């Protein structure tokens, strides 16, 4: 019966990859590909129209990025599970994808034969992260713990009100362009604020800055 299928939407700007992925998934008896999107905006529109069980989402896409599309889809259809499948091994992309509501983050180095199992796992409520990405996160958090243990008990560096505003928006998973729009400033100004925040806090990534700020009670993430 149709309701026994896992209904999947594929969102990737490479048509050849989409078609190959469709062929692999449709070989499975319990998976049905119900649509394809070549950009993030189209992915949002199709997710709204078709309400898939799982969206297989790339990060780097035109019009809307996969992360922006994920955020919109999860806001409109929170029951839809999203598996990010990408070549991006940037920790920041992983962090922002999770902040946006992604349920899994796998690199395209995964065997094509494993995609079906990944879709089933995501649909079944599990969360998946590629081992290499999980290792990077563990290494980063371990480094943060070591810094915290070595750090002397001194007052937290003072951020300006504007820097606090920028940091709050970063904590909400917003991109520089979105922050600039929200605060009515240029994207370059946002970049400068983020750089200053990291320098003041002696940190090296946006994710570290957010975790540090929450720990120091500089901001609260709702």
pLDDT at 34 > cutoff 80: yes
Range of lowest pLDDT (77-91, 100-114, 123-137, 189-203): 123-137
Closest CA to 102 of 93, 113, 91, 114: 93
Q: Who's near 102: CB < 8 A, 6+ residues apart?
A: 57, 67, 70, 82, 83, 84
Confidence of residue 1 (pLDDT cuts 50, 70, 90): very low
pLDDT at 48 > cutoff 90: yes
User: Cβ distance 93 to 129 under 8 Å?
Assistant: no
User: Cβ distance 143 to 131 under 8 Å?
Assistant: no
CA–CA gap between residue 91 and residue 168 (Å, rounded) = 19
Mean pLDDT within 133-158 = 62
- CA quadruple 145, 149, 153, 157: dihedral positive or negative? negative
CA–CA gap between residue 57 and residue 29 (Å, rounded) = 22
Range of lowest pLDDT (40-44, 84-88, 188-192, 210-214): 210-214
Confidence of residue 122 (pLDDT cuts 50, 70, 90): very high
pLDDT at 2: 46
Q: What is the mean pLDDT of the chain?
A: 85
pLDDT at 168: 85
What is the set of domains in the chain, with CATH numbers? 2-133 (3.40.50.2300), 140-215 (1.10.10.10)
pLDDT at 200: 86
């Amino acid at each position: 019966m149709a309701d026994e299928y896992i209904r999947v939407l594929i969102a990737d700007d490479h048509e050849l990859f989409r078609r190959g992925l469709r062929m692999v998934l449709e070989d499975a008896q319990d998976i049905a590909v119900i649509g394809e999107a070549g950009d993030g905006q189209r992915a949002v529109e199709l997710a709204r129209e078709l309400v898939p069980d799982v969206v297989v989402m790339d990060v780097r896409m035109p019009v809307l990025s996969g992360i922006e599309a994920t955020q919109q889809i999860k806001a409109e259809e929170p029951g839809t599970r999203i598996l990010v499948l990408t070549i991006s091994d940037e920790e920041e992309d992983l962090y922002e994808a999770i902040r946006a509501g992604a349920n899994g983050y796998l690199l395209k180095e995964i065997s094509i034969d494993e995609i079906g199992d990944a879709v089933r796992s995501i649909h079944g409520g599990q969360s998946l992260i590629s081992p290499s990405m999980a290792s990077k996160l563990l290494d980063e958090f371990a480094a943060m713990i070591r810094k915290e243990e070595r750090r002397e008990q001194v007052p937290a560096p003072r951020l300006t009100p504007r820097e606090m505003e920028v940091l709050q928006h970063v904590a909400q998973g917003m991109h520089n362009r979105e922050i600039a729009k929200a605060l009515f400033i240029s994207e370059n100004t946002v970049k400068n604020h983020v750089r200053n925040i990291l320098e003041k806090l002696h940190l090296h990534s946006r994710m570290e800055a957010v975790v540090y700020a929450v720990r120091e009670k500089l901001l609260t993430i709702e």
